[in-house]
Amino acid sequence: MQIVHPWRDLRRYVEIRLLEALAEADLALRFLDEGLHRNAAGKAFQAWKAALAAAAALARDLMTAKYRGRVATREGAEVELADWVIALMPTGRMWEAARVLRRAYGDEVVLLTALALSLHEVQYNGLDESGVLSKYSSLEQVEEDVREVVERIRKFVEELRRRL
């Protein structure tokens, strides 16, 4: 499957990102089954990142209202900043984008972004059994959040498909 930039074919971009979200979600559960909790957390995060990008593309009007201006791509093309954010959905912009997208999708998008960012953190930093340096002090907590994010992503993807 070849990546299609949102500024070239928005509908195809959304379709690809939704497929990516479901594939990453499935991998998250497979990793959990293998006892690979940090990897599972990372895949759950990637699944949500893809779903969030698809949601942003479908609510492009909200994104263009927030992200004004133009930026150069790696290839040297100049594109709208909103399209660049939609295409890359940088981790550092996910929280902000989710708050913008709340108007189109409700609080669920903010909740899922918070959970996904917490899982992203545990992917890189691991657990802190003392509960001081990490939001997660046990593998059971990680597993519970991975499963919840995956379940909610699947429902969210179906909602986005209905909007296509």
Write out pLDDT tens, residues 37-46: 999 999 999 9
Asked if residue 132 has pLDDT above 90, the reply is no
Question: 96 CB contacts (<8 Å, ≥6 apart)?
Answer: 66
- The SS3 call for residue 154 is helix
Does residue 1 have a pLDDT over 70?
no
Angle among Cα 129, 130, 132 to the nearest 5 degrees reads 120
**Structural domain 10-163, CATH architecture:** Up-down Bundle (1.20)
pTM of the model: 0.94
- Residue for token pair 């957390």: 41
- Given a cut of 70, is residue 64 above it in pLDDT? yes
The confidence band for 7, taking pLDDT boundaries of 50, 70 and 90, is confident
The mean per-residue pLDDT over the stretch 61-83 comes to 93
